[in-house]
C-alpha cells in the first residue's frame, strides 16, 4: 500500500504546483496587459494639468464689485384672447368630456402669476 499512497501524494503535489504556476502566470499576464493597454486620453490629460495658482487681482476685484441680479420666478399674466371664427364657417359644438373642467368657467388662480389656460376640450373622435 505504500507505493500507492506515495504516488497519490506526488500527483497532488504536481497538481498543486501546476495550479500555482498557472495562477501566477495568469496574474502576471493580466498585469502586463493592463500596463501596456492603459492610456490616458488627451482630454483627460488637459484636465489633469495643474492650473496656475496666481490669479489676476484686478479681475477678482471686478468680479466682486459686480451687481447681483436676483431672478424673479414669476410668470407674467397672459390674457386669453378668443380666436376669431373663420369666414364662411359655422361653429360646430364640441362635446365636453365628463370630468374635464370647462376652460371658460374656471375661476382665476389666486396669487400674482397665472399661466395661459390649457384647452381641455376634445374633438369628436376623442383625441
Encode the chain (127 residues) as per-residue pLDDT tens digits: 577 888 999 999 999 999 999 999 999 999 999 988 878 888 888 888 888 888 888 988 998 999 888 888 877 666 666 666 666 656 555 555 555 555 554 445 444 445 555 444 555 555 5
**pLDDT given at position 119:** 47
How confident is the model at residue 9, as a pLDDT? 92
DSSP code of residue 12: H
Question: Measured between alpha carbons, how far is residue 99 from residues 105, 107, 117, 118, 121 in Å?
Answer: 13, 16, 17, 15, 11
Give 18-48 as a 3 state SS string.
Answer: HHHHHHHHHHHHHHHHHHHHCCCCHHHHHHH
CB 74 within 8 A of CB 115: no
Q: pTM for the whole thing?
A: 0.33
pLDDT, residue 106, reads 47
List phi, psi (to 5°) of 56: -75, 115
What is the rounded CA–CA span in Å between residue 34 and residue 2?
48
> pLDDT value at position 120?
47
Amino acid at each position: 500500500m505504500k507505493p500507492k499512497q506515495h504516488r497519490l501524494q506526488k500527483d497532488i503535489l504536481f497538481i498543486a504546483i501546476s495550479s500555482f504556476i498557472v495562477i501566477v502566470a495568469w496574474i502576471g499576464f493580466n498585469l502586463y496587459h493592463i500596463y501596456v493597454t492603459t492610456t490616458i486620453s488627451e482630454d483627460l490629460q488637459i484636465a489633469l494639468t495643474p492650473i496656475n495658482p496666481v490669479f489676476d487681482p484686478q479681475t477678482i476685484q471686478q468680479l466682486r464689485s459686480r451687481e447681483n441680479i436676483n431672478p424673479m420666478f414669476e410668470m407674467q399674466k397672459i390674457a386669453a384672447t378668443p380666436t376669431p371664427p373663420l369666414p364662411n364657417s359655422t361653429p360646430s359644438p364640441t362635446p365636453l368630456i365628463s370630468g374635464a373642467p370647462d376652460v371658460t368657467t374656471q375661476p382665476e388662480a389666486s396669487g400674482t402669476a397665472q399661466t395661459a389656460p390649457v384647452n381641455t376640450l376634445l374633438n369628436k373622435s376623442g383625441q
